[in-house]
């Protein structure tokens, strides 16, 4: 089971939306995942404990250390786009495994 963290600036609305969209995409693709959503500071400190971090493109740089430790970091241009989320999950998770 994948451990996934969805992050946004405050840990409220955007990260919750990302989490809900991820749940739909993972279900569609048959991927078992545990998804947690939080703010960027909390996510940065916990990222190494997760397999995947999902955030907006503008926050990707925050997770450079996590990416160096083999954590998959996915940046999104449009947080509401299930299509973009699915494409990036297929590219960065499914096709890598």
Show which residues are catalytic.
Answer: 8
Beta bridge partners of 64: none
Concatenating the DSSP letter of every residue in 4-65 gives EEEEESSSSHHHHHHHHHHHHHHHHHT--EEEEEEEHHHHHHHGGGSSEEEEEGGGGGGGHH
């Amino acid at each position: 089971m994948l451990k996934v963290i969805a992050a946004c600036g405050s840990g409220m609305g955007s990260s919750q939306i990302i989490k809900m969209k991820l749940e739909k995409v993972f279900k569609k693709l048959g991927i078992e995942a545990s998804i947690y959503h939080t703010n960027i500071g909390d996510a940065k400190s916990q990222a190494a404990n997760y397999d995947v971090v999902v955030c907006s493109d503008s926050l990707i740089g925050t997770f450079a250390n996590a990416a160096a430790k083999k954590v998959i970091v996915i940046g999104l241009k449009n947080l509401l786009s299930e299509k973009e989320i699915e494409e990036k999950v297929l590219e960065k998770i499914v096709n890598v495994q």
